[in-house]
Amino acid sequence: MTITGNYEDATENAIHGFGTCSFVDGVGGQALKFSRTDNSRFTVGSPIIDSREMTISFWGKDFADGHIFHMLSSVRNEPMFTLSMDGGALKFVVTRYNNMHEYKEAAAFTHPSLNDGKWHHIAVVSDFDVTTYSTATHTLYVDGLRTGTVTEDANVFSENGGTSSSYDTGTTFIMGGSLKLSNSVTLNATNMTVDNFRVYDTRRLSENEIKEIYEAKQ
């Protein structure tokens, strides 16, 4: 999604969305600006990040603690594939169960500060049952550099498309706004600005490929 002053996908994929964000100058054109006060959000009615091997890549700035994006599941409309900032650190949690019951215990990434008012390139490379059996493995890159890897349990026998699954049940992608994970955990809406959001939904980009994306905008 290259932002061009509207919510239409500027790539050949033509996966358009809708939202309540404002448009501001980005890294190479225009970007989406999200407001905590306005609870602004951007929605795509397609499971764009529901993949067992994928890379999520975008530019962002002005991050604060709170919800960045998530997917809704067809199972009771429950949240999964959440990216948030918790205590100044990015946290990516895939399964519905882990989001709703284990979010506080889930491991966050270790990375340099992202609340310095500067643009940063973020890439999350994720796979399920590829790097490690019955495990979701997530690696974070910030500004072209690998900062670390976290894992979460995801039972390979439960992830079969049924009512216990998270993978293969996605319906809607939502960026921004607040998100209630459980009766005890709500991710607040956050101020942030996002540009050039892309999902490579069939493969994990290499470290060199991610570095090339970052350096192309420098």
List, for residues 154-205, the tens digit of each pLDDT value: 999 999 878 899 999 999 999 999 999 999 999 999 999 999 999 999 899 9
Q: Which residues contact 105 (CB under 8 A, 6 or more apart)?
A: none
The values of phi and psi at residue 189, to 5°, are -60, 150
Give pTM, 2 decimals. 0.91
pLDDT of 106 > 70? The answer is yes
137 DSSP assignment? E
Q: Which residues contact 187 (CB under 8 A, 6 or more apart)?
A: 66, 67, 82, 84, 178, 179, 180, 181
Report CA-CA distances (Å) from 161 to 59, 73, 101: 32, 11, 20
Domain extents in the chain: 34-216
CB–CB of 200/55 below 8 Å?
yes
What does the pLDDT average to over 123-144? 97
Question: What is residue 162's predicted lDDT score, i.e. its pLDDT?
Answer: 83
Q: How far apart are CA 158 and CA 172, in angstroms?
A: 21
Query: What digits encode the pLDDT tens for the residues 7-34?
Result: 555 555 545 567 788 999 999 788 999 9
The CATH number of domain 34-216 is 2.60.120.200: yes
List alpha helices for the chain, DSSP H: 96-101, 207-216
